[in-house]
Each structure stands twice: as C-alpha cells, then as structure tokens.
Amino acid sequence: MDFKVSGFVRKAFELFAEGDKSFTDISEFLVKMGVTKGNGTPIKIKQVRQILANKFYIGIMKFAGEYYEGSHEQFIGKDLFQSVQGVLKKRDKHHAKSDSFPFLGVMKCSGCGASVTAEKHIKHYKRTNRKVTYSYYRCTRKQGRCVELPITSTDLEVQMRNVISDVAIPASWGKQWLEWLAKDEIEEKQNTEIKSEGLSRNVEATDRKLNILLDSYLDQVIDPDTYKLKKNELFENKFKFREEMGRLQRGESNWIEPMRNFINTAVKGEKIARAENNIDEIANFVKNLGSNFFLHSRQISAVHNNGFDMLRAPAPARNLLTCEPDHSLCVDSPGIGPGSLRCERSILPFNYEPE
C-alpha cells in the first residue's frame, strides 16, 4: 500500500476513535487528503464503515474497491483498531435502537401466551392527502387464533411510565432506607460472626461426643449396633454444621446487596418515570426489573418479582403492609432476605411526606 495513503487511513482511524466524528466527517477528511474513488468522488459512508472495520485478514487490505498488500500491525496499532471497533459498536447499537421498537421482547400476550411483536403501519388519509405512520405492538398469534387487540407505541410508553412510577420511590425514602440498610449490614455481620462461632463450638462438641462414644464402645459399655447408629447420627450433625459454616463463609445468606440494588433501582425509577423523551431508558428500566409483562385489552399488566410488588401497591393498600399502627409503610420483602429486614426498622413515619 502507498505509504502516503496508509498514513491518511491511520489518521482517519485516529479521528474516528475520538468518538464524535461521523462517517461523513471521515469521508470528507479523506477527500481533503486526496483519497477518493478513482474518479474523484468521495468514498461512500458504507465504504468508510468497511474500512474502519477491516481486519486486514491474511495481510490483505481492501480499500476503495482495490486490494493492497499490507501488514496492519505496521500501520495501525491493535489498540487504535480496538477503540475504533468500540465506537462502531456503539454507533450500531444506537442506530438499531432508535430505529426499532424498544419494548420488543418485554411483554407476552395475556390472551394466548404468545410473544408480542411490533410493526409500523403507514396510513394514507385520502381526504387530506396526509400520511401518518403508526407504530404498534401486537400478539404474534403464534399459538393460533387470538382476539387481543394491538396497542400503539405511544400508549405503551405512557403505560410503561406508570408501571415504573408504581415501583419507584422518592430519593429521600431511598436515602432513609439505605441508612437503615447500612445499620442492618453491620448487625448482619455481627450476627454472622456469632453464628459462625456457635457452629464451630457445635462441631467441637460433636467431636467430643464422638470420642466418648468410641470410648464407651471400646469399654463395651454399648453394643456395636447402638454405636453404629449413634455414630452415624453424630457424623450427620457434624456434616450439617460444616455445611452451614461454608454457606456463611461464602456469604450465601447475604441479602444486603440485593436489597441495596432494589432500593437504588426504585430511586432511579422515580427519575426515569418523570423524565421526557427517554423511551430507551424506560424500556431498559422495565427490562431490568425482571418482571413479567402481559398485554390484555390494550393494557399492560405487570407481575413483579424481587419485591417490587410491595412498592407497586397503591397508596391506601400500602398501609395494609404496616406492621405497627403508627407507621405507614413496610418494605419487608419476601424473596429478598426472608424476615431479615425487620419491619419496625424498615417503615416510614406515618407523617412522612414525599418531596
């Protein structure tokens, strides 16, 4: 490859790696450098993209429709190439997203259980000679006939916003809950230590019993059958204690982190539900909720997991969760650390007012 051209291509890579240059910018840069398609016309955007993604397999580089011999190790470093691939990937993702239907894959049809697909439909109003594009989501009807009606993208977005509002909490609640959680975390650590010590004492005690048992057997105080039976029982206990210790050490009983994520997500939801023009964010949020969504009669219903159903309860019903009469809200969430978040410490004052 021409030494000069290879230099310009490297420069094009460097420019693109900055992240804010479009394919057109790169094409224009190359025109300025005199790199064009033979007859002087600029290299097309599609070709710029190809150049930037070209891996120079077997040392051959295809450039502007022609093959050149070259070693990409020599004129473009691996790091530069990788960062360009990163920018390309981001671009593609963004493009695909903005062009498609962000809520695809989120819902199922409630009528027949089939998945929900999305479509764009252009309607031509003859009288006013106006074309309007409708995009909507509908049952794929892959399970056979289905009478469920489609929902427009706009309606769906509004409803999804409401879904998020229902599981969201104000930042001030989140702050308070996180403080309680931090206290619980300290207590939990102490509990773990106490439990762990208790378990190792149990193991020691069992070992002592096993020794006594063996002595009794050797002294012929107990018969072989009783010895065997008792020994098995003690071994089984010891095994259980050891297992429990292992679980504690691996932190398997740790519910703090999931709870913290839960609170942070709920706080984030508050902002996302209120923001404007953030359909991708809305879609990502509902995807990450890990909930199940169903489409029925143009309405979305959500079946929440991970404790979000507790937050979803409408205001009057939330009072039913109260553990004590002078508190208005309890967030003890089944499925996140059963019984670990004690109600009397995890409730908001009755006179609490959201911001």
The three-class DSSP label of residue 8 is helix
- Our CB check for Zn ion shows the closer of 146 and 313 to be 146
Residues contributing to the site for Zn ion (CB under 5 A):
109, 111-112, 114, 139, 146, 148
- Please state, in angstroms and rounded to a whole number, the distance separating the CA atoms of residues 200 and 202: 5
- Short-list 26, 22, 82, 19, CA closest to 55: 82
Instruction: Decide whether 11 or 141 has the Cβ nearer to Zn ion.
Output: 141
Residue 157: how many CA atoms within 13 Å on its side-chain side? 17
Q: Looking at beta carbons only, is 279 or 295 nearer to Zn ion?
A: 295
Report whether 173 contacts 349 (CB < 8 A).
Answer: no
Residue 145 C-beta: closest distance to Zn ion, Å: 9
Give the integer Cα–Cα distance in Å for 99 and 133: 13
- Quick one: 43 or 302, whose CB is closer to Zn ion? 302
CA distance 109 to 84: 41
Least Å distance between CB 330 and Zn ion?
A: 37
Query: Smallest gap, in angstroms, from Cβ of residue 146 to Zn ion?
Result: 3
Non-local (6+) Cβ contacts of 184 within 8 A are 256, 340, 341, 342, 345
- CB of 151 vs Zn ion, minimal distance in Å: 12
Q: What's the closest the beta carbon of residue 136 comes to Zn ion, in angstroms?
A: 14
- The phi, psi pair for 255, rounded to 5°, reads -110, -5
H or E segment to which residue 139 belongs: strand 130-139
Q: Pick between residue 114 and residue 234 the one whose CB is nearest to Zn ion.
A: 114
**CA Rg value for the chain:** 32
Q: Which is nearer to Zn ion, 111 or 307 (CB)?
A: 111
Least distance to Zn ion, CB of residue 52, Å: 43
Beta bridge partners of 136: 119, 152
Helix (H) / strand (E) containing 118: strand 116-125
The SS3 call for residue 295 is strand
Quote the least distance from Cβ 118 to Zn ion, whole Å.
Answer: 14
Please, which residue, 137 or 255, has the CB nearer to Zn ion?
137
